[in-house]
Structure 1
């Protein structure tokens, strides 16, 4: 048996763009992706703190160092620029693996930049 466990999350990032006329997904700054251990095309859940919306989509690699967090396609209707979202990834693990696993939690600054220390 496997359980679906929190793998990583970007906690409280700011939506910088919403592009309705785009094939659906979420574009994330590659620095943020690396910090959270996210892969291009990986499924993620996005939770909007401003309006309570929740959605499932996949990651597109955004330009490194830009702080971009852009909801694309239909997902663009679920958030406005400036909204605060949490981006969550999960992993399938055995119960034994899940007991020992420590998720990666990233707390970027107000401009979606990584904070050292």
Structure 2
């Protein structure tokens, strides 16, 4: 695991969109996610899991929007976990520490 946004709330689900997950840029920065990076999304409410890619959302809005077919896997208000993975050598992995973000109930960074 490279990074994780733990227990964030879905704010939108847009079925008629190309695909992906839109994430508030503040949360992306805190978790070390980059636009178009592959992520796994786990829905705590219904157990659904999916793989998609990240699109930058407007900074400071708390936006978490599942787009395209992914929109069928969650409802607004569902709690999800967003996970990104990376490949490291054994030496790199021995000292690597993932970035884990625990947003508040409004998808804002906790100070």
The TM-score normalised by the length of structure 2 is 0.99
**Structure 2 Cα separation of the partners of residues 29 and 106 of structure 1:** 13
* C-alpha distance in 2 between matches for 1:108 and 1:48: 16
Q: Give secondary structure in 2 for the equivalent of 1:81.
A: coil
Give the equivalent residue in structure 1 for 2:16: 21
Q: How far off is 1:95 after superposition?
A: 1.2
Gap regions ≥5 residues in structure 1: 1-5
* Residue aligned with 2:86, SS: strand
Aligned pairs (5 A) from 1:1-117: 6-116=1-111
**Alignment root-mean-square deviation, CA:** 0.4
Name the structure with the higher strand share: 1
SS in 1 for 2:92: helix
